[in-house]
Amino acid sequence: MRILLVGAGGVGDAIAKIAARRTFYDTITVSDYDVARAERTVGWIRARHGEEAASRFRTAAIDASDPDSVEAVAREHRATHVMNAVEPKFVPTIFAGAFAAGADYLDMAMSLSEPHPTDPYEKTGVKLGDDQFALRGDWEAAGRLALVGMGVEPGLSDVFARFAADELFSSIDELGTRDGANLVVRDEAGNEIFAPSFSIWTTIEECLNPPVIFEKDTGWFTTPPFSEPEVFDFPEGIGPVECVNVEHEEVLLMPRWLDAKRVTFKYGLGEEFIGVLKTLHLLGLDSTTPVRVRSAGGPVEVAPRDVVAAALPDPATIGPLMTGKTCAGVNVTGIGVDGAPREVYLYHVSDNEWTMREYECQCVVWQTALNPVIALELLAKGAWRGTGVLGPEAFPARPFLELMERPEREGGYGQAWGMREAR
């Protein structure tokens, strides 16, 4: 397996660092528009793990917005798999470039949605991933695999949902992905600051778009942003967090393969974060349409959302200032295999102190990066197989979860996952 990793930002950097401890691939080419970022990642691997580990890594410059550039870099490095680790606005071009190069493809976020033109808070328009699923016939005919939504949420949450459907429930009422954290970021003076732990570009996209809900009797429909607040009690010391509906890929992926009466995604944003997002929307600073701005060098065209992203701390750099844990998981209700009502929360917790100590990565990007590496290893070993455009639910969950939790000394990743039964 020869992997082209597109993007050496927070998640891409973490993917390479996690993979440096594994042996299932021949080479990984870390590519970025700013090749210095890719070189910094490989330099860290060399310093931490030595020259032998670093010798399996290459670096390259790439333009993720240009499918021809993606194809050319993939062909140059004879990539068998293209791992997309950049913002979802680049999905179409990387997806196309990988296909043109004859490589398999993985991402952690799917092609973007477009709200319904007249009823955005009731009806879906173009849904997340629609553009990719429209091309599944081409991928099937070519005998190639595009594994989409293979991060943590979506990704691990979908693996948990498949596990519940296969082994824990005879029928499912709701698959409810619930994400919460007790993370705090402070400046050097100890003052708490606003610093999102993930790409603000992506966060704005998913939080201000109409959230999608699936119900078996009616299909997919939408609601206003931040709807249906509920307090969810997260495990391992995180505690109660208010969660709200947010647009997310799980709701578009799970119903394609799993039988459930209802599928939802709720995110613990907090009042301050929701207030900031509402203000950005009110001021038009969430827009991706370039506006004309005066500057010392003359007028320039710039997208307001890109300005917001540039003004905030890079999520990849805030790890040393962050404390706390983040939790990703899916709450499942229905009838258990014994015929009795059942409710379980399947989850994984990532602790920032541990991820910084082990990988010098903050916990949110590290938790996201872990899962595509596991998926790549399962594909390399033949435990997962498939063609076309598939989500994580299309594959058996047990091989993934067993490899994930097996101790590193026994060839696994040493990451325990939890299952909490409702009282």
pLDDT at 44 over 80: yes
User: Residue 422: inside a domain, yes or no?
Assistant: no
Cα separation of 98 and 406, whole Å? 32
Domain co-membership, 169 together with 233 = yes
State the pLDDT at residue 17: 98
Residue 341 sits in a domain whose CATH number is 3.30.360.10
Cα separation of 376 and 372, whole Å? 6
Total-model pTM: 0.93
Domain co-membership, 208 together with 160 = yes
State the pLDDT at residue 300: 85
pLDDT band with cut points at 50, 70 and 90 for residue 399: very high
State the pLDDT at residue 303: 86
Domain co-membership, 101 together with 158 = no
Domain span at residue 97?
1-150+364-412
Domain co-membership, 11 together with 63 = yes
Domain co-membership, 354 together with 374 = no
User: Residue 202: inside a domain, yes or no?
Assistant: yes
Among the candidates 362, 382, 403, a domain finishes at 362
Domain co-membership, 282 together with 217 = yes
List the beta strands (DSSP E) in 102-229. Answer: 104-106, 145-147, 169-181, 184-185, 212-215, 219-222
170-187: burial string, b at 16+ Cβ within 10 Å, e else: eebbbbbbbbbbbbebee
User: Residue 421: inside a domain, yes or no?
Assistant: no
DSSP code of residue 14? H
Split into its structural domains, the chain has a count of: 2
Q: What is the pLDDT of residues 168-188, one digit of tens each?
A: 999 999 999 999 999 888 888
352-381: burial string, b at 16+ Cβ within 10 Å, e else: beebbeebebbbbbbbbbbbbbbbbbbbbe
User: Residue 419: inside a domain, yes or no?
Assistant: no
Rounded to a whole number of angstroms, the CA Rg of the chain reads 21
- C-alpha distances (whole Å) from 256 to each of 95, 133, 144, 158, 259 are 20, 11, 19, 11, 8
User: Residue 318: inside a domain, yes or no?
Assistant: yes
User: Residue 423: inside a domain, yes or no?
Assistant: no
Q: What is the pLDDT of residues 236-267, one digit of tens each?
A: 999 999 999 999 999 999 999 999 999 999 99
Domain co-membership, 20 together with 112 = yes
Domain co-membership, 174 together with 259 = yes
User: Residue 418: inside a domain, yes or no?
Assistant: no
Residue 98 sits in a domain whose CATH number is 3.40.50.720
Are 322 and 363 contacting, i.e. CB atoms less than 8 angstroms apart?
Answer: yes
pLDDT band with cut points at 50, 70 and 90 for residue 210: very high
Domain co-membership, 217 together with 261 = yes
User: Residue 417: inside a domain, yes or no?
Assistant: no
Residue 114 CB neighbour total at 10 angstroms: 14
Domain co-membership, 288 together with 368 = no
Domain co-membership, 354 together with 230 = yes
- C-alpha distances (whole Å) from 36 to each of 5, 56, 65, 148, 327 are 15, 18, 18, 28, 32
Cα separation of 282 and 238, whole Å? 32
Domain co-membership, 194 together with 324 = yes
pLDDT at 299 over 90: no
Give the closest residue to 56 by CA, choosing from 108, 107, 5.
5
pLDDT at 75 over 90: yes
